[in-house]
Amino acid sequence: MIYKFLLDFVYPNRCPICGSFIKWDELLCKVCESKLPFHEKTLCERCGKDKCLDHDSLHFDSIYTLMRYEDICVKAIHQLKDDRQLNFAEYSAKLLGNVLRENGIAQQADIITSVPMHKSKRRKRGYDQAQKLAHFTAMELGIKENYRLLGRTRDTAEQHTLTAAQRKTHAEEIYFSLLTMQT
């Protein structure tokens, strides 16, 4: 906390969405925070949709979403990815930590990880925003982090441009467990 306070003198803290000046210990301005599209109703915890999908083909136990991917949320995510606006990752991690605690997931977790970004994209961007979100979430929950659990065979098209079926196929083709390689 002292570090952020002192850093604020040289590099004043700004809202990662609108760019307005905010207090050193804030992550977003109140105006932008009030505009975030939080889910107003409970979604299916297996598929994350309003209406349940076929769960037989899903290879995970549950999914929790914080916000709808629209309007100011899209802008915040792009700012995080393209402009290294880490305040939004830290803000999201605090919310995610609360959701994981409320649903009993945090108490069961041993390690936090992230799905790896392709090395060429990481080199171009300078960092991996998913890893930053995972890092802040691990800090929020006091859980160890390990980013050497998953590997990636190749780069793909940007996931938001693909259908759900294409994303699933890509995930099956390009990601693999590094744990099997360590034995």
| Angle between the N-to-C axes of helices 71-83 and 86-102, in degrees from 0 to 180, rounded to the nearest 10 | 120
> Mean pLDDT over all residues of the chain?
86
pLDDT digits (tens, 9 = 90+) for 128-179: 999 999 999 999 999 999 999 998 888 877 777 888 788 888 888 888 899 8
Cα separation, 12 vs 177, whole angstroms = 41
pLDDT digits (tens, 9 = 90+) for 34-66: 999 987 766 666 666 666 666 666 666 777 888
> The tokens of 121 are what?
């994209």
Rounded to 5°, the CA angle 119-76-102 comes to: 95
> The tokens of 15 are what?
């809202």
> The tokens of 97 are what?
């930590």
Q: Where are the domains of the chain?
A: 2-147
Looking only at the bridges linking them, the beta strands covering 175-177 and 150-152 are antiparallel
pLDDT at residue 183, rounded to an integer: 46
pLDDT at residue 20, rounded to an integer: 95
